[in-house]
Structure 1
């Protein structure tokens, strides 16, 4: 059992506009991420957001929307909200909303490693650098509920190095995220999204 938790409560401070609503190939950036997730089987799919405008979109893709009234306190509030709404025995796969080139094949590869090593923290890597999405086992539920601030799950990862299972990837496109205008222009320079979902 694994819950997909899509984190979409940020303020896009560096971009200075809502990056999740930016157009890419005719639909919002966030919708691309939802599509990739929705073509993979999860026990539950949760969208954690501070903007009710995404609720309709979420329902189209089978996500339950969780409105985060504490988004200003950082990503930890979204993580805790998602974990609390998950089954107590569920593992957690955390996604970020600004990876529109994320593919279902990447997700499935990570889930396959999780099936082989259900007690591990599954982290995709690119050139040795940790990427998203990350899978946490159900055994770390309480640790995830204790995090604070805007560091996400990094503190939990740092405290449990013995549980880490890294999965290496060579294609950078699925992990391209949007933090700045330059990132968005890089995304737009891709003539067509590589779709395998």
Structure 2
């Protein structure tokens, strides 16, 4: 386990409006889409994971084994009453929980980005423990992508984000030269499954890569 209190903020409060159904419940790789990245986060070196959901979420999309010990102690959930107003509201709900857990840093993760890896998360933690920078992010073609680590010194600015503004805005402007970027070449890692076309691509890629250990 990490020596520092690095908290994962797992954003799972989206409306799934472009999918037309709750995408977190969609079957993918013999499990629910929403559980894939969550499992990796819980098996990583994160101190704790805060799952941010919509109000009324029954958490049926979370794999049954994550409700059992010892993994059950590693996560908690918080319903965000204003999640429909934009992703920044979900992020703020997660940050407030992270404050209560005395987080030294947070790693922002997206529930609809199922192909991130445990190694990615642990790499962010490793570099932060070696050199605590304001942010450490993974990138694809030089573009910052989740998962991204933010130190506690950045929380006040993150809390000022509005509506659908993302933390990437702050990386590009206020903190452009103050952090670290780790480049990954495979675009599948960063696939956000927002539409039926995205879901078809994900299932197709899984069939193509079945039998490999890269995902």
- Is 1:141 matched with 2:158? no
Deviates further, 173-182 or 132-141: 173-182
- Quote the residue 2:120 is aligned against: 106
- Quote the residue 2:203 is aligned against: 188
- Distance in 2 (alpha carbons) for counterparts of 1:43 and 1:194: 29
- Quote the residue 1:131 is aligned against: 145
- Quote the residue 1:57 is aligned against: 62
CA change 1:183–1:101 in 2 (3 A) is same
Displacement of 1:195: 4.7
Q: Which runs of 4+ in 1 moved over 3 A?
A: 193-197
Q: Is the 8 A contact 2:12 2:110 kept in 1?
A: yes
- Distance in 2 (alpha carbons) for counterparts of 1:111 and 1:88: 16
- Distance in 2 (alpha carbons) for counterparts of 1:141 and 1:55: 31
Give deviations 1:37-56, integer Å, cap 9, x for gaps.
11112222100000421178
Displacement of 1:89: 4.5
- Distance in 1 (alpha carbons) for counterparts of 2:61 and 2:142: 38
Displacement of 1:152: 2.0
- RMSD, matched Cα: 2.1
Q: For structure 1, which runs of at least 5 residues remain unmatched after alignment?
A: none
Q: For 1:29-178, what aligned pairs fall within 5 Å after superposition?
A: 29-50=33-54, 51-54=56-59, 57=62, 60=67, 61-62=71-72, 63-86=75-98, 87-157=101-171, 158-178=173-193
CA change 1:119–1:83 in 2 (3 A) is same
Instruction: Report the TM-score, using the length of structure 1 for normalisation.
Output: 0.90
- Distance in 2 (alpha carbons) for counterparts of 1:151 and 1:164: 20
- Distance in 2 (alpha carbons) for counterparts of 1:6 and 1:193: 28
CA change 1:56–1:180 in 2 (3 A) is closer
Query: Secondary structure of the residue that 1:95 maps to in structure 2?
Result: strand
- Distance in 2 (alpha carbons) for counterparts of 1:168 and 1:56: 30
Q: For structure 2, which runs of at least 5 residues remain unmatched after alignment?
A: none
- Alignment length (residue pairs): 197
- Distance in 2 (alpha carbons) for counterparts of 1:55 and 1:84: 24
Instruction: Report the TM-score, using the length of structure 2 for normalisation.
Output: 0.83
